[in-house]
Amino acid sequence: MLSYDLTPEQDMLRKTIRDFAEREIKPIAQKIDEKEEFSYDLVAKMGSLGLFGMTISPSHGGQGLDYLSYVIAIEELARVDACQAATVAAENSLGIGPIYHFGTEEQKQKYLPDLCTGKTLWGFGLTEPDAGSDAGGSKTRAELKNGQWVINGSKIFITNGASRITAGVTVQAVSSTQDGKREISCILVPAGTAGFTAREMHHKMTWRSTNTAELYFDNVTVPESNLLGRRGDGFRQMLATLDSGRLGIAAMGLGGAQGAFEAALSYSKERKTFGMPISRHQAIAFKLADMAMEIEAARNLLYKACWLKDQGRPFKKEAAMAKLYCSEVMKRVTDHAVQIHGGYGLMEEYPVAKFYRDQRLLEIGEGTSEIQRIVISRELGC
């Protein structure tokens, strides 16, 4: 039976996150973006609200929420600021997710309680300077020597990887090569391990107030027990992580589109040309109609993908579609929003310029739009 009603808890959650974003994030979002400043204060506040470990079971310190609730929370954060939404989404899906889903009980007990309150953060080291979409091309190596993993290599564009409160990172590495076949494993590396350096990346066009890191591993040695899940399971772990991660990125596209649309709608009612608000000129009104329509379609697609996941049904294709569609909808919506603002749309004093910049990442991160099309077409049997 088809129902479009959210549960009372989901409604309340949306209102809470919206109020929080309006009251706590909006007043400083533009300023910290300009300074490329990562806000520890906001992380602490988002932590006490319960935004980290949202889908993790309460027995491990999480909130035990469904994926639709998680996506609504990310959507509401992104409606105001892509950066805080990114910090939360990356932490939930890439930082906490793999430890929770693949870690041993001991690893979970050790890391999850602090990660789920936002006291600490965790990065997921996948992309390398020479390996992104071609994740199998990883050059980072992990060698098992005398019961210890020795890791060498580097990672790039790692969200939450170099903050003061980053407790460590999950590193995907080639753990052996036999007959030309590469075995990929994920290994947990705590911050402060000798030979492990995390450096903040700056001069970004998008997500300027997130923490983005370059990671260097120079003979980094950790116990064998730091292996995440089973040896050789790293590639499968990464794919499963990205399937769920796509829902978060899609939510950022949806929320960002919503925020840019609202800004454009309200501006169009105030700005007058030829003696009337520009919203009453058909050229502008039709843009707004298209924006609202595409946002509605994007929301339905994304919520359905969440519903499939929450029902325990296959959702790979729908998650890829939602990620691809929501990020492209935000592209078109922010483009219209800037156009509607005219010259002011190019000024950072208005929020649409930031929405326009922040959108660009969504077509690249956690699987480019091209990769999403590959995923979808393979699901179609192409």
Partner 1 sequence: MKIAVLVKQVPDTETKIRIKGDSSGIETDGIKFVVNPYDEYAIEEAIKTKEKNGGGEVIVVSMGPARTVESIRTALAMGADRGIHIDDAGLQADSHVTAKILAAALQKEGGVEVIFCGKQAIDGDCSQVVQGVAELLGISQVMIAVKFDLREDKKGALIQRRIGGGSQEVYDVSFPVIVGAEKGLNTPRFASLPGIMKAKTKPLAVLKAAELLGESKPRVSFVNYRLPPERKAGKILQGQEPAQMAAELVKLLREEAKVI
Residues found near partner 1 in the complex (CB under 8 A): 8-9, 11-13, 15-16, 19-20, 48-51, 54, 58, 63-65, 73
Output the smallest distance, CB 280 to partner 1, in A.
18
Q: Which of 247, 262, 269, 169 is nearest to 212 (CA)?
A: 169
Output the smallest distance, CB 275 to partner 1, in A.
16
Residues 165, 91: contact at Cβ < 8 Å? no
Output the smallest distance, CB 63 to partner 1, in A.
5
Beta-carbon count within 10 A of 80 CB: 24
Collapse the DSSP code of 142 into the 3-class scheme (helix H, G, I; strand E, B; otherwise coil) and give the result: strand
Output the smallest distance, CB 23 to partner 1, in A.
8
Q: Report CA 340 to chain centroid distance, whole Å.
A: 28
Which candidate in 105, 363, 366, 370 is catalytic? 366
Q: Which of 100, 96, 110 is nearest to 47 (CA)?
A: 96
Output the smallest distance, CB 143 to partner 1, in A.
42
Output the smallest distance, CB 49 to partner 1, in A.
5
Q: Give one DSSP letter per residue of 282-326, joined into a string.
A: HHHHHHHHHHHHHHHHHHHHHHHHHHHHHTT---HHHHHHHHHHH
Residues 217, 154: contact at Cβ < 8 Å? yes
Smaller CB distance to partner 1: residue 45 or 280? 45
Active site residue 366: yes
Smaller CB distance to partner 1: residue 65 or 151? 65
Smaller CB distance to partner 1: residue 19 or 130? 19
Strands (E), the chain: 121-125, 141-145, 148-159, 166-178, 181-190, 196-200, 212-223, 272-273, 276-277
Exposure letters 371-382 (e unless 16+ CB within 10 A, then b): bbeebbeeeeee
Q: Give one DSSP letter per residue of 319-378, joined into a string.
A: HHHHHHHHHHHHHHHHHHHHHHHGGGGGSTTSHHHHHHHHHHHHTTTTS-HHHHHHHHHH
> Distance between CA 185 and CA 234 in Å, rounded?
4
CA angle, 290 as apex, 285 and 292 as ends, to 5°? 95
Residue positions annotated with a catalytic role = 366
